[in-house]
Amino acid sequence: MRPNTALARWRAGDRTVGGWLSVSNTHVAELMAHAGFDWLCVDLQHGLLDYTDLLHMLPAISTTDTTPLVRVASHDPAGIMKALDAGAMGVIVPLVNTAAEAAAAVSACRYPPQGTRSFGPLRAALYGGRGYAVEANSQIACIAMIETRAGLDNLEEILAVPGLGGIYVGPSDLGLALGLSALGDSDDPVHLAAVATIREACARHGVPAGIHTSSRAWAQRRLDDRFSFVTLGSDVGFLMRAVGEDLASVRKTGL
């Protein structure tokens, strides 16, 4: 089977940089993949796209060695299984509040007897290649998001769930859970302490830790903090930043 290179690097203690896909455009997905990201995540939770878009965007990413991930809409097993059958090499599961929810998500990613994933990898077997049915359990990454008060309170129990491929910090929702603003890249000491608590707990449990960022400065800061996987930004963010900078420059010097 095709190896999950991102997961292998996290397990080896390496750091990786990924991107976020929020709009339903196959060409944008392909462009982002060819940019050289270690992994890309298609966002079915907040992104302006649906499962039909996923069926076009995952093959576009597959024109490269970039690892395709999907943030599913919830920890519903049916949604997790559909994303995996479409060819995702891992899922990011939002709003995981308890160990039971984390365990259910892991189970949905594993074929029996290790889990409860139903067999029908229509595109996944083609993309994953020979041996998918036998090897998928060890190659699919189940990543739980910690972004709520309950998730923080139950962090140790969640991290003890066998089979977790990683923890991903949702810093904006985490800020709201802490009574702060939804600003993800936050220097607030309360926010910084909560993020550090999650990262340190992941290190103790040997679980790779990831986090969302929205700028080069914050991505580098989180990599320096030894996060295993960091989102540099999203398709929409990259577009608006480039447009804003170029337009401001032209208005300043050319009018």
Closest CA to 89 of 50, 118, 62, 60: 62
Residue 253, pLDDT score: 82
CATH of the domain at 77: 3.20.20.60
Active site residue 46: yes
Q: How many CB atoms lie within 10 A of CB 185?
A: 18
**Spatial separation of the C-alpha atoms in residues 234 and 213, rounded to whole Å:** 9
Please check whether residue 110 is in contact with residue 137, taking contact to mean a CB–CB distance below 8 angstroms.
yes
Rounded to the nearest angstrom, the gap between the alpha carbon of residue 123 and the centroid of all alpha carbons in its chain is: 20
Give the pLDDT band (50/70/90) at residue 254.
low
Beta bridge partners of 91: 70, 142
Location of structure tokens 């998001």: 145
Per-residue pLDDT tens over the stretch 179-226: 999 999 999 999 999 999 999 999 999 999 999 999 999 999 999 999
Beta bridge partners of 65: none
pLDDT greater than 70 at residue 255: no
| Per annotation, catalytic residue among 27, 46, 191, 212 | 46
Structural domain of 143:
5-254
| Mean pLDDT within 18-44 | 98
Q: How many CB atoms lie within 10 A of CB 176?
A: 15
- What's the structural domain count of the chain? 1
Please check whether residue 144 is in contact with residue 164, taking contact to mean a CB–CB distance below 8 angstroms.
yes
Closest CA to 21 of 235, 232, 228, 198: 235
Closest CA to 207 of 163, 251, 148: 163
Tell me the whole-structure pTM to 2 decimals: 0.96
Residue 106, pLDDT score: 98
pLDDT greater than 80 at residue 231: yes
Per-residue pLDDT tens over the stretch 170-190: 999 999 999 999 999 999 999
